[in-house]
Amino acid sequence: MTLGGADGFRQGVEAAIPALRRYARALTRDADAADDLVQDTLVRALRSERLFHGGDVRKWLYTILTNLNRNRLRTLARRPAALPLDEFDPAGAAGPEANGRDIERALATLTDDQRAALLLIVLEGLSYREVADIQGVPIGTVMSRLARARAQIKAYLDGERPSLRRVK
């Protein structure tokens, strides 16, 4: 959505909020963290409105959200991991909920960059070029991340064990 003027910019930001929330929730897998991430994105975008020189507001917002999420992940990596008790999933769980948990687990096995590329393309419907711009990488890298993510999810859902990478 390309808009001009302050009112157009703010309308574009407001229109993008549902998509930002959806992407952030899928990316973080935590509703509270996702809401915080979206709020920080909106605050930063509105404070930096003067830096927006036209173009696609939604793409600009995704870039801000992606960068804020990278910063969040760096901060979390410095802290010890804690696993909530309510996420315990009995092995015998079945039904439609189990399929959703399988996909959620499969997404959790992806690297952050692979998960972000997959979600932006599949969930948000962005083009490879837009995702490349958001992630700040060449389009071939996006294609590679997407191919690896799809292969890894397929392997996980097919019950294959993850292969170990050889480090030289």
Q: Give pLDDT, residue 95.
A: 46
> CA quadruple 77, 83, 86, 90: dihedral positive or negative?
positive
pLDDT at 62 over 50: yes
Decide yes or no: CATH 3.30.70.890 for domain 1-80.
no
Task: Compute CA distances 69 → 30, 37, 40, 75, 105, whole Å.
Answer: 12, 7, 10, 10, 20
Q: How many CA atoms within 13 Å lie on the side-chain side of 33?
A: 15
Q: Are 115 and 106 in contact (CB under 8 A)?
A: no
Report the share of the chain in percent with pLDDT over 70: 79
Give pLDDT tens digits for 99-127.
Answer: 556 778 888 888 888 999 998 998 888 99
Residue type present at position 17: I
Q: Is 140 exposed, middle or buried (0-12, 13-18, 19+ CB in 10 A)?
A: exposed
Contacting residues for 110 by C-beta, under 8 A, at least 6 apart: 118, 149, 152, 153
Q: Domain boundaries in the chain?
A: 1-80, 95-160
What architecture does CATH give domain 95-160? Orthogonal Bundle (1.10)
Give pLDDT tens digits for 1-38.
Answer: 444 566 788 899 999 999 999 999 988 888 999 999 99
**56/164: higher pLDDT:** 56
pLDDT at 47 over 50: yes
